Structure 1
């Protein structure tokens, strides 16, 4: 099973590691299942950019980025080459080790837990 290591742009939040992650699960679902805050407004249908993340390692283990996802990433705050949307970042490799940085959620108007 995959491992997802979370770090946070907001350094007041400690890093978290989630082990035993099934395949065919999105990074957003991993956050939801493990009490990790990641905004999401559109209901996981790739219609906004509030679940924007940075995949710093292990991106090759995720579902390939679509043109639609790229369009919404362009609307995110501070997009970078490693930007993805958590709702579209589906884990495909059971042996993956994925390192994700979550941008500072205080700058995003969106769904609050």
Structure 2
């Protein structure tokens, strides 16, 4: 089981901590199931960059970044070395703590 801490760069959004999260879902799916807004214009199939997040801690619990994901991250607003797409960050078997920062999404239109 995982504990996931979501922080937000958008002003006015308080951090959210989720506990007892099981492996198998992506960061995007976990966010949406818990009423955390994370844009996903392509529907979560690694065809855009709107679910771009920063993994601050816990990258070892996620699959390695693929070339395709890296190509879309290059198109994201303000990519960093710890940038990932939420739709591609599927929690692997295990347990631990993951810290995710959601960039300011107020400039995006869509889901």
TM over 0.5: yes
Partner of 1:56: 56
Secondary structure of the 1:70 match is: helix
The CA distance in 1 between the partners of 2:103 and 2:17, in whole Å, is: 17
Partner of 2:89: 89
Kindly state the Cα deviation for residue 93 of structure 1 after the two structures are TM-superposed: 3.9
Structure 1 residues 53-109: Cα deviation after superposition (integer angstroms, max 9, x where no partner): 000000111111100000000000000000000000011143120000000110223
Partner of 2:43: 43
> In the TM superposition, what are the counterparts of 1:1-113 in structure 2 within 5 Å?
1-111=1-111
List structure 1 runs of 4+ shifted beyond 2 angstroms: none
The CA distance in 2 between the partners of 1:54 and 1:19, in whole Å, is: 19
Secondary structure of the 1:98 match is: strand
Structure 1 residues 21-42: Cα deviation after superposition (integer angstroms, max 9, x where no partner): 1101100001011000100011
Which 5+ residue runs of structure 2 have no aligned equivalent? none
Q: Give the TM-score of the pair, scaled to structure 1.
A: 0.94
The CA distance in 2 between the partners of 1:19 and 1:94, in whole Å, is: 14
Which 5+ residue runs of structure 1 have no aligned equivalent? none
Q: CA RMSD in A?
A: 0.9
